[in-house]
Structure 1
Amino acid sequence: MPRYLDIAAELKRQIAAGELVPGAKVPSVRKLAATWGVATATAAKALTVVAQEGLINAEPRSGFVVAGSKNVKAPKWSRQHDLTRDRLVRAAIDIADAEGLAAVSMRSVTARLGVATMAPYRHVKGKDELVILMADAAFGERGYPSKGSLAWRPRLELAARTLWSLFKRHPWLAQLGPITRPLPLPNLTAHSEWMLVPLEALGLTAAEMLDITVLIFSYTQGIAVHLEREQQAFSTSGMSDEDWMDSTEGALNAITAMGRFPTFSKMLATLNAEGYDLILDNLFEQGLQALLDGLASRMSTIPCGELNTRATNNGD
C-alpha cells in the first residue's frame, strides 16, 4: 500500500478512536513528513485523502483540524465554480505561513479549498506560477504614504522595516531566490521605487542607486531567512531554542576547555551568568542602523557640488 495511504489510515484510526477529537489540530505536513520519514508531498497527499472524506477541515493560518460529527460529509466539489485566482492564492499563502513553502502544492491547496484536483489549473499553470502570485500578493500587503519626506535615511528606514514586517508575517518570502535573480513583481518594485526617489534627488548614479536598494533588501532578507529556518528546525526536531542550547552544552564545554579561545570562553561564561536571548528584531534594528550609518559616511565624502551637478545632469 502506498505510504500516503498508510498515513491517511492512521489519521482516520486516531479520529475514530477519539485520539484526535473534534476541533483538535491535525499534525502539520512537516510534522507528518518528519514522523513517517516521507517527503512533504506524500504527507500532503495523505491529508488530502482524509480531507476529501470530510474528516478534517482546513482552517485559515491554522492548518487542518478534526471536523465535528455533524460536519462530517462528502467534500463540496460543487464549490469549484466559486474558485477564483485570489482565493487560490490566499489559500496557498495560508498553507505557506503555517507550514512553510514546501508544504504548498496544487494538491494541498485543493484539499484546503475543498475543490476538485484539476480546478486550480483554470487559473494557474502550476505551482511555479502560483508561488509568483503568492509573492506578489504578500509584498503588496503593505505600502507607503502617497507623499513623504525626500530625506533618504527615513525613507530607507521605513522601507527596511516594512519589508521586515512582511518577512515576519510570511517567513517563506525570504526563501524564494537569490538577490542576483530578483523576481519581476509589481508589488516588490513598489518597495524599490520608494527607496529610489530620494536617492535620485541626491544625484546618485543609476548604479549607486541600485547598489543601495539591493543592500537594504538583501540585508533585510538575510536576517529574515532565519525566521523560516527556525520554524523548520522546530518542526523537524521538536526542540525549542532553549532545548537546543541545552543539547549543545557538552560540545560547547568541550570547546571552551581547549583553552584556545579565551575571549569566546569569557563571553560565553558572562552570557550564561547574566542571561541572553538572541532576538532577531533587535539584531535587525542594530544592523540597519549600522548599515545606514555607513551609507551616511559614504555620502558625506561626496562633495555637495558634485551631488548638485549630478542631480542637475540627471534632470536634463
Structure 2
Amino acid sequence: MTESGSPSERIAAELRRRIVVGELAPGARLPSTRRITREWGVAMATATKVLNRLREEGLVRAVPGVGTVVAGKPEPAVGRARQSQPAPQRPSREVPQQTAHGDGRLLAEPAGARRVGAGGERDLTRERIVVTAVRVADEEGLAALSMRRVATELGVATMSLYRHVPSKDELLRFMMDMAFGEQPLPEPPASDWREGLETVARLQWRIYRRHPWLASTMSFTRPVLAPDAALHTERSMAVLAERGLSWEEMAQTAVALAAFVCGLAVHFEREAQAEQDSGLSADEWMERVDDEDHERLMANPEQFPMFDALNRGPEIDMSLEALFEFGMARMLDGVGSVIERRGDG
C-alpha cells in the first residue's frame, strides 16, 4: 500500500525509507513503540504493528535488553518495491471470511479477499464488518479497533457501517459471539461432571488464546447477551444437574470457573504487548529483573522467609499455562467436595 494507506503502513514506509537511504544503519536502534506513539500520534497497537511489519520483511530484529534494531540494509530496488507493495500479512493471525448461516450464526468460508473491494458499500454486510473487526483486533489489539478503522479496511464511508451495526458496543458483542462460535462445544456432553466442566474450561482457554483481545471485553457483573458465549454457561450447568446442587450453586460454579479462565486469559494480550515493547519474552524479562531490587528482596530473609526459601529451592513453573492447569484442578476439587457433601446428606 502507498503513502495513502493505513497509519501503520505510512509509518513503516518512512522507517523503511530511512533504512534504505542509510539514515538508520545496520545495528542502529529503531524508535520504540512508545516513541512512535509520541512522534506520530498513534495508538500503541499501531506502533506495535509497524515494528511487526518491518520484522516480517527481515529489515529489523528484536535484541533482548536492547530493543528493535536494523538487521541490514536492503538493496535500493528491493526497498523501493517494498514501499510500493502491501506488507505481507501474518497467516497465523488471519481470521477466515465468514458467511451467515440460516440461524444467524457465522460460519467460516474459504480464505479469500479480506476487504469489500470493488463492490464497496453495495456488498457491505454485518458479517463482513464483524470479520474485519476481529481481524483488526487480532492483529493490532483492541486499542486499534474503531468504526472508522473498520470502514477504512473495508474501503467504505464510516457512516455506512451504522446501517448494519448500531454502535461499537454492538460490534463488540457480535465479535464476541463470533469468537465463541468458531469452536463449538463437543457433542454429546460428557456424562462425568468433572470431565464436562474441564472440557468447557479448556475450550474457553483456547478461544482466548486465539483472540487475545477477547478476555478484556468480558464482564461477569454486566454480562453481554451473546448466544454462543451463553452456551458455555448452559453446558456447565447442565453437566452439574442432578448432582444434588441447588440452582444457585450450579450457576455460581459455572460463572466462577469461567471468571477464573477469563481472569488469567487477560494476560495474553498484556504479555504480547509487553514483549513487543521490550523485545523480551516473559522468561527473558524474569532473568533480567533489576539485580538491586532482587537483592533488596532477598537481603532480609527474616522479613521474607518464604521468598528466601523459594529462591533456594528448585525452579518453579509460573507460566500462564501452569497457573491455568493448577487453578482449574483445584476449583474442580472444590466442586467435587461440595457434591460429595450433598450426596452424604
**Which residue of 106, 119, 122 maps to 1:81?**
122
Q: CA deviation at 1:83?
A: 2.3
Superposition CA RMSD, Å: 3.4
Q: Does the aligned pair in 1 maintain the 2:264–2:324 contact within 8 Å?
A: yes
- Asked if 1:59 is matched to 2:89, the reply is yes
Give the secondary structure class of the aligned counterpart of 1:202.
coil
Give the secondary structure class of the aligned counterpart of 1:196.
helix
Q: Does the aligned pair in 1 maintain the 2:216–2:266 contact within 8 Å?
A: yes
Which residue of 2 is the match for residue 36 of structure 1?
A: 37
1:246-265, Cα deviation, whole Å (9 max, x unpaired):
03333112110123213312
Percent identical = 34
Which residue of 2 is the match for residue 282 of structure 1?
A: 322
User: Could you tell which deviates more after superposition, 166-175 or 241-250?
Assistant: 241-250
Q: Distance in 1 between matches of 2:270 and 2:180?
A: 20
Q: Distance in 2 between matches of 1:128 and 1:95?
A: 16
Which residue of 2 is the match for residue 154 of structure 1?
A: 195
Q: Does the aligned pair in 2 maintain the 1:33–1:43 contact within 8 Å?
A: no
- C-alpha distance 136-76 of structure 1, shift in aligned 2 (>3 A): closer
TM-score with structure 2 setting the length:
0.68
Q: Distance in 2 between matches of 1:235 and 1:291?
A: 33
Identify unmatched segments of 5+ residues in structure 1: 21-30, 48-52, 65-74, 307-316
Q: CA deviation at 1:8?
A: 7.4
Which residue of 2 is the match for residue 266 of structure 1?
A: 309
- C-alpha distance 32-82 of structure 1, shift in aligned 2 (>3 A): farther
Give the secondary structure class of the aligned counterpart of 1:124.
coil
1:11-68, Cα deviation, whole Å (9 max, x unpaired):
4444556749xxxxxxxxxx75652324529959x99xxxxx986468366789xxxx
**Which residue of 283, 290, 293 maps to 2:333?**
293
Identify unmatched segments of 5+ residues in structure 2: 22-31, 51-82, 95-115
Q: Does the aligned pair in 1 maintain the 2:138–2:213 contact within 8 Å?
A: yes
Which residue of 2 is the match for residue 312 of structure 1?
A: none
Q: CA deviation at 1:196?
A: 1.3
Q: Does the aligned pair in 2 maintain the 1:62–1:98 contact within 8 Å?
A: no
User: Could you tell which deviates more after superposition, 252-261 or 152-161?
Assistant: 252-261
Count the aligned residue pairs. 273
The residue correspondences of 1:1-316 to structure 2 (distance < 5 A) are 10-14=11-15, 19=20, 35-37=36-38, 38-40=41-43, 56=86, 59=89, 76=117, 78-245=119-286, 246-259=288-301, 260-271=303-314, 275-303=315-343
Q: Distance in 1 between matches of 2:250 and 2:337?
A: 16
Q: Distance in 2 between matches of 1:193 and 1:42?
A: 35
Q: Distance in 2 between matches of 1:110 and 1:214?
A: 35
Give the secondary structure class of the aligned counterpart of 2:342.
coil
Q: Distance in 1 between matches of 2:231 and 2:6?
A: 45
Q: CA deviation at 1:108?
A: 2.1
Q: CA deviation at 1:119?
A: 3.2
